[in-house]
A and B are shown apart, each in its own frame.
Chain A
Amino acid sequence: MMHFLEPEIVATVGILATLVAAMLVRPRSTVPYWFGLVFSAAALVRALTLHQSTHLYGGVVLGDSYSIVVTVFTLLAVMAGLLLAWDPERYGAEFPALMQLAGVGAMVMGFAGNLILLFLGLELLSLPLYVLAASRRTPLGGEAGLKYLLIGAFSSGILLFGAALLYGATGSMTFVNFTAVHVVPGLMAAGLGLLLVGLLYKLAIMPFHMWVPDVYEGSPTPVTAFMAFGTKVGAAAALLRVLAFGFSLSAAWWGLMLGYLAVLTMIAGNMVALPQRDLKRLLAWSGVGNAGYVLVGIASHNVVGAQAALFYLLPYGLAILLAFTVVRILEGREEAPVTLASLKGLAYRQPWLAVGFLVAMLSLAGIPLTAGFIGKFYLVRGAIAADQWGVAVGLVVATIVGLAVYFRPVQQMFAPGEGATGRFTVGTGIVLAVAALGTLFIGIYPEPVLHAVIQSARFTWLH
């Protein structure tokens, strides 16, 4: 019966093994990193070979193909984070264990079927990231850690309040039991609203996004890369699951609200990304905009939209990992800030790096033959199927603004001038190659990945 949680169990055992390894070897060894990577890979393989689904503990743990997709995405993010941080002297022996802990948190959010597990998963995802965000001993690093901790704790409090109200209104913690009670007037609406606020904070949707640029800028780049992918996967997966399982009957109410937020986030996020000079801040704002795209799928409250939202996480994740890998290579060991000016002449100095960056920008902009285009295509389909034409138009407008955002770094890359030169390591090289090839593969031949994801989100709204 526990069969279905085997990837999570492997990942948890991996954390303990990594800690024991870190204890036994000398402080500057890469052995803990190897342990983290090997166990994450083992969990990934196990997740990819799972098929049947179970509901454990009376619907509290929902092990299905949806949770497998979340687990796979999360493990990809964990492995990328580890490979980008492959420098024990710089990041310390605890880094791999903390990264894996955050990953397990996102996986818990993927299979959470009730409010308690959702909250615990959210906290397990966030706690290690608070620590990792503060692990850079600079004023910016301290600011990132403190800001993330305070705002995260605040949003957790709001989420808990919402959970308490929902329990008060329904007498149950399990999502599927919420459908029995009418949402619109009163306690349920207040509870759902507060719960949504808590989750939207994590997903960085527009009125709740203020922490993103500072935290992304101040955190070490491997941590930022994980945050941009892993955190959004966890938060979006939990959001989709809560709404689909618990509130499918009141979809018109929250679908409208989330639709407005999605349009605001997409357009404003990309607009603010436009004048940014620091590449990490630009990518942070782009991450805000992309969270808005994911929200389009969730807001459309139909199967097509849910599938599109789940699928879009992968193209977005691969592209943002790719972009942060380039930042990581260019910033070097000293972690000097990478601005648009340091991209100058990159296409002539380091053509392969430039190709990787170009693929990332094209995919984020949604150019055909990259994964980003396929993702946005399905999102628009979802919005139209829900008859939310305004949201669909908003997505197109945001994409046009996005073209300008992603064109500027590319233009700098081909401009003459002396910018920064980075050194590839094995780890960054692997992430760069895998993410770039993955983006192009999904863009050219999306069938296998798309099919797997679409199958896994099919349960939605059948309840």
Chain B
Amino acid sequence: MVGFIILAVLSFASAVGVVVARTPVHSALSLIGNVVTLAVFYLLLNAEFMAAAQVIVYAGAIMVLFLFVVTLLTAGKEERERPESLAGQRALSGVLAVAAGVLLAGIAVRDSAGPLVTRFSAGYGSLSAMGRVLWGPDFDYLAVVALMLLTAALAVLVLNRRAEDPRPAAAKEDAS
């Protein structure tokens, strides 16, 4: 329980850091902290493979990519935010967010009915057990996630296309 609380505090603090940090590099570093604490959570939940994948894929590959992009694009540039059009918007939304969080936390504390009993198969969380689930009863999830990755690949193609708004008119003249 103590370990859980320490981890929860760390995870929460790093998540807040992602949003609050002024420079993008600090945000990215906080995100790494958050990813690693989540990996430890997975370990505590007996999901060893998930924990390893989380560290390797997110903290290892994706965050390094993030950091590269951040350093290449915005390093050193201090962006000034424009003044907000709605006065007091940020303070009000902050108060409301904290109130919603307190409400939900209160409900969670009041209604905590003790540990939840769920049925785990033997070797739960290991690579082979996960493979057996993904290619067996949970195959539908796998298929939909595959389609989502396909969408992401297509999205790169579409969004990366150069701006061609002034072009059609010129192209038509060339053709005629």
Contact = CB atoms under 8 A, between A and B. Distances in A.
Nearest to A61: B140
A15 B107 contact: no
A267 B117 CA distance: 46
B99 to A, nearest CB: 14
B147 A171 contact: no
B170 interface: no
Interface string B134-164: 0001101101110110111011011101011
Contacts of A101: 147, 150-151, 154
Given A92-B161, A131-B158, A117 B141 contact: yes
Contacts of B168: 89-90, 333
B151 A124 contact: yes
Given A57-B137, A131-B151, A187 B107 contact: yes
A15 B150 contact: yes
Interface string A93-109: 01001100100110010
Interface in A111-144: 116-117, 120-121, 123-124, 127-128, 130-132, 134-135, 137-138
Contacts of A124: 144, 147-148, 151
A131 B159 contact: yes
B118 interface: yes
A235 B36 CA distance: 34
B155 A120 contact: no
B137 A58 contact: yes
A116 B141 contact: yes
A12 interface: yes
B9 to A, nearest CB: 19
B141 A131 contact: no
B108 A98 contact: no
Interface size class of B (residues with CB under 8 A): 20 to 34
Contacts of A134: 159
A94 B107 contact: no
A127 B152 contact: yes
B150 A120 contact: no
A168 B155 contact: no
A128 B151 contact: yes
Nearest to B107: A190
Contact of B148 (A120, A137, A138): A120
B77 interface: no
Contact of A171 (B116, B144, B145): B116
B163 A98 contact: no
B158 A94 contact: yes
B155 A137 contact: no
Nearest to A132: B158
Contacts of B116: 168, 171
B140 to A, nearest CB: 6
B98 to A, nearest CB: 16
Contacts of B113: 169
A275 interface: no
Main secondary structure of the interface of A (DSSP, over half): helix
B111 interface: yes
Contacts of A61: 140
Contacts of A121: 144
B81 interface: no
A89 B117 CA distance: 57
A98 B141 contact: no
Contacts of B141: 116-117, 120
A262 to B, nearest CB: 23
A372 to B, nearest CB: 33
Q: Which of B141, B148, B154, B164 has the most CB of A within 10 A?
A: B154
B140 A117 contact: yes
B10 to A, nearest CB: 20
B82 interface: no
Contacts of B110: 186
Given A12-B147, A120-B141, A187-B108, A171 B117 contact: yes
Contacts of A227: none
A60 interface: yes
B165 interface: yes
Contacts of B56: none
Nearest to B111: A186
A15 B137 CA distance: 24
Interface string B87-125: 000000000000000001001101101001110000000
A117 B143 CA distance: 11
A222 to B, nearest CB: 14
The 6 tightest CB contacts between A and B, nearest first, are: A186-B111, A120-B144, A131-B155, A137-B165, A187-B111, A137-B163
Given A132-B158, A165-B108, 15 more contacts: A19-B150, A57-B137, A89-B168, A92-B161, A94-B154, A101-B150, A117-B144, A124-B147, A128-B154, A130-B155, A131-B155, A135-B159, A137-B163, A168-B108, A187-B108
Interface of B: 104, 107-108, 110-111, 113, 116-118, 137-138, 140-141, 143-145, 147-148, 150-152, 154-155, 157-159, 161, 163-165, 168
28 contacts: A57-B137, A57-B138, A58-B137, A60-B140, A61-B140, A94-B154, A98-B154, A98-B158, A120-B144, A123-B148, A124-B148, A124-B151, A127-B155, A128-B154, A128-B155, A130-B155, A131-B151, A131-B155, A131-B159, A135-B158, A135-B159, A137-B164, A165-B104, A165-B108, A169-B111, A171-B116, A186-B111, A190-B107
